[in-house]
Structure 1
Amino acid sequence: MSGFRAAVWDSFDFKQPVAPGIKLMLGVTAWLAFVLAWHFAATGEGTSSPLFPGPLQVLESLRELFFEREFSADVLASLKRIGISFALAVALAVPLGVLMGAFPLVAAFFNPLVSAFRYLPAPAFIPLLLMWLGTGDEQKIALLVLGVVWFLITLVSDVVRQVPTDFIETSKTLGGSRRVILWTVVVPAALPGIVDTCRQMLAVSWTYLVIAEIVAATDGIGAMMMRARRFVYVDDIMAGIVVIGALGLLCDLAFRGVHWLAFPYLRQRGK
Structure 2
Amino acid sequence: MYQEQNKKETKRRISWLQPQKAISKKLYLSLSISSFILILLVWSGITYTHLVDPLFLPTPTDIINSAVTLFTELGFATDILATISRVFVGFLLALIIGLPLGVLIGTFKVVEAFFEPVISFVRYMPVSAFIPLFILWIGVEEPEKLAVIFVGSFFSLVLMIAVEVGNVRKELLEAAYTLGSTNFGIIKSVILPAAMPGIMEITRLVLGWAWTYIIVAELIAAPSGIGHVIIESQRMIRTSNIIFGIIVIGILGLICDVVLKIVTRKLFSWNYGR
TM-score under structure 2 normalisation? Answer: 0.94
SS in 2 for 1:47: coil
Tell me which of 172, 176, 195 is aligned to 1:190.
195
Kindly provide the amino acid, as one letter, of the partner of residue 75 in structure 1.
Answer: I
Asked if 1:164 corresponds to 2:163, the answer is: no
Give the superposed CA RMSD: 1.6
Tell me which of 139, 144, 151 is aligned to 2:149.
144
Q: CA deviation at 1:44?
A: 2.2
Task: Give unmatched runs, 5+ long, in structure 2.
Answer: 1-5
Asked if 1:225 corresponds to 2:230, the answer is: yes
How far, CA to CA, are the matches of 2:161 and 2:200 in structure 1?
9
Q: CA deviation at 1:184?
A: 1.0
Q: CA deviation at 1:100?
A: 0.8
Aligned residue number for residue 261 of structure 1: 266
Q: CA deviation at 1:10?
A: 2.4
Aligned residue number for residue 204 of structure 1: 209
Q: CA deviation at 1:185?
A: 0.8
Kindly provide the amino acid, as one letter, of the partner of residue 247 in structure 2.
Answer: V
Q: CA deviation at 1:88?
A: 0.3
Q: Contact between 1:123 and 1:211, CA under 8 Å: does it hold in 2?
A: yes
Per-residue CA deviations over 1:186-210 (Å, capped at 9, x if unaligned) read 0111011101100000010000000
How far, CA to CA, are the matches of 1:245 and 1:157 in structure 2?
28
Kindly provide the amino acid, as one letter, of the partner of residue 212 in structure 1.
Answer: A
TM-score under structure 1 normalisation? Answer: 0.95
How far, CA to CA, are the matches of 1:5 and 1:140 in structure 2?
54
How far, CA to CA, are the matches of 1:148 and 1:189 in structure 2?
23
Q: Aligned residue pairs: how many?
A: 268
How far, CA to CA, are the matches of 2:132 and 2:123 in structure 1?
19
How far, CA to CA, are the matches of 2:137 and 2:25 in structure 1?
50
Q: Contact between 1:8 and 1:22, CA under 8 Å: does it hold in 2?
A: no
Aligned residue number for residue 101 of structure 1: 106
How far, CA to CA, are the matches of 1:175 and 1:218 in structure 2?
58
Aligned residue number for residue 131 of structure 1: 136
How far, CA to CA, are the matches of 1:141 and 1:78 in structure 2?
10
Per-residue CA deviations over 1:69-93 (Å, capped at 9, x if unaligned) read 2100000000000110010000111
Aligned residue number for residue 41 of structure 1: 46
Aligned residue number for residue 79 of structure 1: 84
Kindly provide the amino acid, as one letter, of the partner of residue 50 in structure 1.
Answer: L
Task: Give unmatched runs, 5+ long, in structure 1.
Answer: none
How far, CA to CA, are the matches of 1:92 and 1:55 in structure 2?
42
Q: Contact between 1:148 and 1:204, CA under 8 Å: does it hold in 2?
A: yes
Alignment of structure 1 residues 5-20 onto 2, 5 Å: 7-20=12-25
SS in 2 for 1:218: coil
Aligned residue number for residue 24 of structure 1: 29
Query: Bigger CA drift: 36-45 or 67-76?
Result: 36-45
Q: CA deviation at 1:45?
A: 4.1
Residue 83 and residue 177 in structure 1: after superposition, are their counterparts in 2 closer, same or farther (change >3 A)? same
SS in 2 for 1:18: coil
How far, CA to CA, are the matches of 2:13 and 2:230 in structure 1?
41
Residue 7 and residue 41 in structure 1: after superposition, are their counterparts in 2 closer, same or farther (change >3 A)? farther
SS in 2 for 1:48: coil
How far, CA to CA, are the matches of 1:235 and 1:257 in structure 2?
33
Q: CA deviation at 1:17?
A: 1.4
% identity of equivalent residues: 32
